[in-house]
Amino acid sequence: MNSGHLNIFEASRSARNRTTFAALFLVHLWLVSVAIAQQASEQLLAQTIIRQPDGGSLTLQQIRPLAALPIKQRQPEVLTPEEAAIRQRREGKESEVISIGATVYADGMTLVRCMVDGRQGLQVVSNMDFRLLCETGTLETETKVYSLIMMAGHEPETPLPAMYSENASQLPFGGTPGFVLAESKTSLTEAEQRAVDVLTVLHNHMRDNHKALLQNKVQREAAQAAQELSRRSARPPPPKHTVFQFWKLPKQSGSGNASGGSSHSTGKSSAGGSVQP
Do residues 58 and 87 both lie within one domain? Answer: no
pLDDT, the chain, mean:
78
pTM across the whole model: 0.59
Do residues 91 and 53 both lie within one domain? Answer: no
Do residues 34 and 146 both lie within one domain? Answer: no
Within-domain flag for 274: no
Within-domain flag for 77: no
pLDDT tens string 82-131: 878 877 777 878 888 888 999 999 888 999 998 887 777 788 999 999 99
Who contacts 102 (Cβ-Cβ below 8 Å, separation ≥6)? 110, 111, 112, 113, 126, 130, 131, 150, 151, 152, 153
Within-domain flag for 254: no
Domain of residue 90 covers 82-232
Do residues 23 and 98 both lie within one domain? Answer: no
Do residues 10 and 117 both lie within one domain? Answer: no
More confident: 70 or 140? 140
Domain count for the chain: 2
Q: For residue 269, what pLDDT is reported? A: 37
Q: For residue 77, what pLDDT is reported? A: 80
For residues 134-147, average pLDDT: 84
Q: For residue 27, what pLDDT is reported? A: 58
Q: For residue 211, what pLDDT is reported? A: 92
Do residues 141 and 184 both lie within one domain? Answer: yes
Report the C-alpha dihedral over residues 158, 159, 162, 164, rounded to 10 degrees: 120
Within-domain flag for 146: yes
Within-domain flag for 45: yes
Identify the band that residue 270 occupies on the pLDDT scale cut at 50, 70 and 90: very low
Residue 215 pLDDT > 90, yes or no?
A: yes
Within-domain flag for 72: no
Do residues 40 and 104 both lie within one domain? Answer: no
Q: For residue 24, what pLDDT is reported? A: 64
Q: For residue 203, what pLDDT is reported? A: 92
Do residues 140 and 8 both lie within one domain? Answer: no
Do residues 117 and 177 both lie within one domain? Answer: yes
Within-domain flag for 239: no
- Torsion sign across C-alpha atoms 165, 166, 172, 174: positive
